[in-house]
Amino acid sequence: MRLLRAAAGFLVCLLSVSPLFSQQAPSSRGRAEEETLEELDSALAKLQPDHLDSCPLYNRRARVLMDLGRFAEAERDALKSAEISPNALAYLRAAMARLYGGKYPAAVESAGEAAELYRLSPATKHELALAYEVSGCAKWRQNDPGAEDDFRAAGEADPERRSLLSEWRDGRLFSCLPGRTARRIDAASKDAARLLKREGKNKGELRADREEAVRKIGEALKLVEGRVEAHPLYNLRARAYNLLKAPEKAYADAAASLRVKPKGNPAACLEASVAGLLMSDYEKSLQSALSGIEVAQTWYSPEKPGILARLYRASGCSKLGLGKAKEARGDFVRMAENDPGMDAGLKEFDKGNPPCEDRDQGQGWDSQSSYLLLGALIALGGGGWYAYSKRVGPDRAAKAPVSAPADIAMDGRLAGKYEMLRIIGKGGMGAVYEGVDHSLGRVVAIKKMAAQLAQMGPEGRQYFLKEAHSVAALHHSAIVEIYAVLEDGDDLYLVFELVKGKTVQHLLAEEKRIHLGRACEILRPVCQALQYAHGKGMVHRDIKPANIMVTEEGRIKLMDFGIARSLVDGALGSAVLEGRPVSSPGEGRGLGAAVLEGRPVSSPGEGGALGNAVQGTAAPSPSAIGAYARTVNVVGTPPYMSPETQQGIVCKELDIYALGVVLYEMLTGRWPFMEPDSFTKKAGMDFVAASARVPGLPRQVDDMIRRALEPHPSHRMRTAAEFLACLEAAAAAARKT
């Protein structure tokens, strides 16, 4: 009977179907909509209550009310239509009104009812896609990974919506906003982008265009400020500010972008790096560029090559500013590899012209050179680049090895046997090269530690070497093995096992979630490696998905063991992890500087981003901790750090805590403790159970995660072996259900 009534209602209301986000002329709004409401009210008054003919009138009225922003009234009218006669359009209108009104679970329910009815008619593929889209938007608002399935289904039903998946991954779902808001933002952003791309004008006209772009973006930001959809607008305005040579404002917008979207946002890192260049803050610029490169490596977007090329360019220009011309050339090579259109920039560099000059008119080797506007580096003609080109000459500069550092032997081999072939990764700890150990005929990885190592002083350097040798003494099948620790003057090199594959972070970017059985298979060797290392008195201190590798052969490797992040300078990405603004371009250096200079941190708040990120949590008091080891060098990645870490406490239980966070992220696709105030939430264990996010997970999973995430280490699960036993029991329980 319900289906018969639904079919009747569907036929009556089909003629009133209109696109979810249709375009309307701005002049037809306002008073015209109020007049439409009056006409609909008059038509409804002529009908008997609950008459079937009132169904399309209520549906139309709901649409008009949504255009006026009156979502509660629109929901009421749509539900009234569905009550008279269950029909797909009524449920779709109700879902839209609930989505825009913030009633996300109810929106998912109504969208599902609409989809169920639309599937009855093959002629309504477009409307079916809209129902899936609304459901996906509502799930996305709740951070439900199931949004991916809905957006994929929408694209399958309507090929015009195939872009929804990539927009969802990038957090650019303007279509999830009310129609009028979405249209205003879309128009403003397109106008701003067009203004920023204009060429062939004089400088006065260009400046006026850019200022107008800033104004338009500002108007659009008022509609979505503080939401994830705001991040591309912040990035676009940061670009405009960089073009206007207002780097402080550009840097602030890049920080704001990272606050609302801390993951998968390399464009914000790029704009922050450019701002640093314009302020001649080359260290800050380099750290932001390297952070962006690391993010972009696992970023899935058609814009990836162009963003990577410009990040490498910014990195190279930063290094020129720091007098590292040889290393800069390697970045310019990578720039040209990612964007062949920028190959002329590499050629200019080899001729003695740094590819960092101001090309305001958009002409020359870089088709988007005005995007970066690195004119502040023209002064390098008398600095690092000049010294390099004069020493080797333009011809030799063109033939200089891309990756070989200046201090290796004349035969091209480090310590007489290690040949460095090419850079395969960069980060705050230094650059990693693929190499060959000619004495044993095996391929290896060689990490040249960051230049800041030389600033640590004799005591700091000796401590670091001791740590490195302790890790090199660990031999376990699931731990990346360090073959050698080599010193060459002020430089330090680590030679270790080269593994190829995908990190768990990479897998999560591809799959969004990992099922319990697979998670158990991946974490079993990790737990075994930690149990072994803890028995040797070693604590990893930076367990996270990016440090767990699934090799091409299917083996599991735990990376960056025990020497994680001690040299990191606190780049822009760290500053925004806690969801606060960056107050100045120089912020984020204190802790790194304190450690590198070998001096104590004078207060819990010292240390810029990282120091502030771990301050103010109800971690165990020093008297309660007692015999746990301490360090002034607080290391780790904030989402995976235990509360006691803020006290500089080092204990094996902090690795167990991180394992709990990693397991939660693998199963649900998100962190248990989200910003803002994530550390306060950690202290209060304020998080949603994994089974509430992924129905079907056994109760044992929730129990073990809670035990692993206990804020006090003495109340926490004590060993990695215990963690593994609980995980295997949970996986076995899941197989039985």
What does the DSSP assignment read for 140-161? HHTT-TTHHHHHHHHHHH-GGG
Give the C-alpha separation, 703 to 191, whole Å. Answer: 52
CATH code at 631?
Answer: 1.10.510.10
Q: pLDDT digit string (tens) for 163-214?
A: 787 777 666 666 777 777 777 887 888 888 888 887 666 888 888 999 999 9
**Residue 674: predicted pLDDT:** 80
**Residue 455: predicted pLDDT:** 63
How is residue 401 written in tokens?
Answer: 């090895």
Angle at 627 between CA 621 and CA 628, to 5 degrees: 70
Tell whether 589 is covered by a domain: yes
Are the beta carbons of 301 and 338 closer than 8 angstroms? no
Angle at 503 between CA 643 and CA 403, to 5 degrees: 105
Q: What is the 3-state secondary structure (H, E, C) of 486-547?
A: EEECCEEEEEEECCCEEEHHHHHHHHCCCCHHHHHHHHHHHHHHHHHHHHCCCCCCCCCHHH
**Residue 299: predicted pLDDT:** 67
How is residue 381 written in tokens?
Answer: 């003609």
What single-letter DSSP state applies at residue 560? S
Q: Is the pLDDT of residue 688 over 70?
A: yes
Average pLDDT of the residues of the chain: 75
70: left (phi over 0), alpha (psi -120 to 50) or beta: beta
Tell whether 543 is covered by a domain: yes
> Where in the sequence is the domain holding 280, given as residue range(s)?
263-402
CATH code at 23?
Answer: 1.25.40.10
Q: pLDDT digit string (tens) for 251-296?
A: 999 999 888 888 778 899 999 999 999 988 888 899 999 988 988 8
Count of beta carbons in the 10 Å neighbourhood of residue 340: 10
How large is the average pLDDT for residues 718-725? 96
Identify the residue with better confidence: 704 or 509: 704
Do 549 and 677 fall within a single domain?
Answer: yes
Question: Dihedrals φ, ψ of 468, to 5°?
Answer: -65, -45
List CB contacts of 226: < 8 A, sequence separation 6 or more.
Answer: 260
Ordered strands of the 548-551 beta sheet: 501-503, 548-551, 556-558
- Minimum mean pLDDT among 257-271, 444-458, 473-487, 599-613: which range? 599-613
Q: What percent of the chain has pLDDT over 70?
A: 74
Tell whether 130 is covered by a domain: yes
Q: How many separate helices (H) and strands (E) can be counted in the chain?
A: 31, 11
Do 315 and 462 fall within a single domain?
Answer: no
Do 540 and 671 fall within a single domain?
Answer: yes
Question: Dihedrals φ, ψ of 685, to 5°?
Answer: 50, 45
Q: Is the pLDDT of residue 635 over 70?
A: no
158 catalytic residue (yes or no): no
Match 């901790």 to its residue by tokens. Answer: 625
**Which one from 67, 209, 366, 542 is the annotated catalytic residue?**
542
The model's confidence at residue 686, banded by pLDDT at 50, 70 and 90, is very high
Do 303 and 444 fall within a single domain?
Answer: no
Q: What percent of the chain has pLDDT over 90?
A: 27
The dihedral through the CA atoms of 247, 250, 256, 259 has a sign that is negative
Do 537 and 622 fall within a single domain?
Answer: yes
Q: pLDDT digit string (tens) for 79-111?
A: 999 999 889 999 999 999 998 888 989 999 999
Are the beta carbons of 9 and 166 closer than 8 angstroms? no
**Residue 51: predicted pLDDT:** 86
Identify the residue with better confidence: 198 or 44: 44
**Residue 285: predicted pLDDT:** 92
Q: Is the pLDDT of residue 362 over 80?
A: no
Per-range mean pLDDT, top range of 135-139, 404-408, 488-492: 135-139
Strands 548-551 and 501-503, sheet pairing: antiparallel
Give the C-alpha separation, 713 to 620, whole Å. Answer: 8
Q: Is the pLDDT of residue 379 over 60?
A: no
Identify the residue with better confidence: 615 or 547: 547
The model's confidence at residue 7, banded by pLDDT at 50, 70 and 90, is very low
**What is the SS3 assignment for 436?**
strand
**Residue 636: predicted pLDDT:** 65
Identify the residue with better confidence: 409 or 204: 204
User: Of 498, 517, 545, which one is at a domain's C-terminal end?
Assistant: 498
Per-range mean pLDDT, top range of 604-608, 624-628, 706-710: 706-710
Q: Is the pLDDT of residue 589 over 50?
A: no
**Residue 171: predicted pLDDT:** 65
Q: pLDDT digit string (tens) for 476-511?
A: 989 998 888 888 777 888 899 998 889 999 898 888
Tell whether 245 is covered by a domain: no
**Residue 26: predicted pLDDT:** 42
Q: Is the pLDDT of residue 374 over 80?
A: no
User: Of 402, 433, 463, which one is at a domain's C-terminal end?
Assistant: 402
How is residue 54 written in tokens?
Answer: 């009132």
**What is the SS3 assignment for 548?**
strand
The model's confidence at residue 725, banded by pLDDT at 50, 70 and 90, is very high
Are the beta carbons of 488 and 529 closer than 8 angstroms? no
How large is the average pLDDT for residues 134-159? 86
Give the C-alpha separation, 361 to 353, whole Å. Answer: 18
Give the C-alpha separation, 192 to 170, whole Å. Answer: 20
Tell whether 438 is covered by a domain: yes
User: Of 161, 176, 191, which one is at a domain's C-terminal end?
Assistant: 176
Tell whether 119 is covered by a domain: yes
How is residue 253 written in tokens?
Answer: 């917008």
Identify the residue with better confidence: 736 or 429: 736
Tell whether 726 is covered by a domain: yes
Do 695 and 644 fall within a single domain?
Answer: yes
The model's confidence at residue 301, banded by pLDDT at 50, 70 and 90, is low
Do 422 and 328 fall within a single domain?
Answer: no
- Tell me, rounded to whole angstroms, the distance of Cα 408 from its chain centroid: 36
Do 482 and 544 fall within a single domain?
Answer: no
Do 701 and 579 fall within a single domain?
Answer: yes
The model's confidence at residue 572, banded by pLDDT at 50, 70 and 90, is very low
Distances in Å between the alpha carbon of 479 and those of 393, 463, 498, 562?
Answer: 45, 22, 12, 11
Count of beta carbons in the 10 Å neighbourhood of residue 699: 11
Q: Is the pLDDT of residue 397 over 60?
A: no
Do 643 and 686 fall within a single domain?
Answer: yes
How large is the average pLDDT for residues 393-413? 38
**Residue 489: predicted pLDDT:** 75
**Residue 227: predicted pLDDT:** 78
| Radius of gyration, CA atoms only, the chain | 29
- Minimum mean pLDDT among 257-266, 325-334, 597-606, 685-694: which range? 597-606
State the virtual CA torsion across 175, 181, 184, 189 in degrees, nearest 10. Answer: -50
Total domains in the fold of the chain: 4
Do 590 and 710 fall within a single domain?
Answer: yes
What single-letter DSSP state applies at residue 479? B
* Terminal CA-CA length for the chain: 35
How large is the average pLDDT for residues 711-735? 94
Q: pLDDT digit string (tens) for 385-395?
A: 222 333 333 33
**Residue 608: predicted pLDDT:** 30
Tell whether 282 is covered by a domain: yes
CATH code at 469?
Answer: 3.30.200.20
Strand partners, 422: 434
Give the C-alpha separation, 681 to 696, whole Å. Answer: 25
Identify the residue with better confidence: 624 or 300: 300
Strands 413-414 and 548-551, sheet pairing: unpaired
Q: Which helix (H) or strand (E) is 484 found in, with range?
A: strand 482-488
Do 31 and 86 fall within a single domain?
Answer: yes
What single-letter DSSP state applies at residue 340? G
Identify the residue with better confidence: 161 or 531: 531
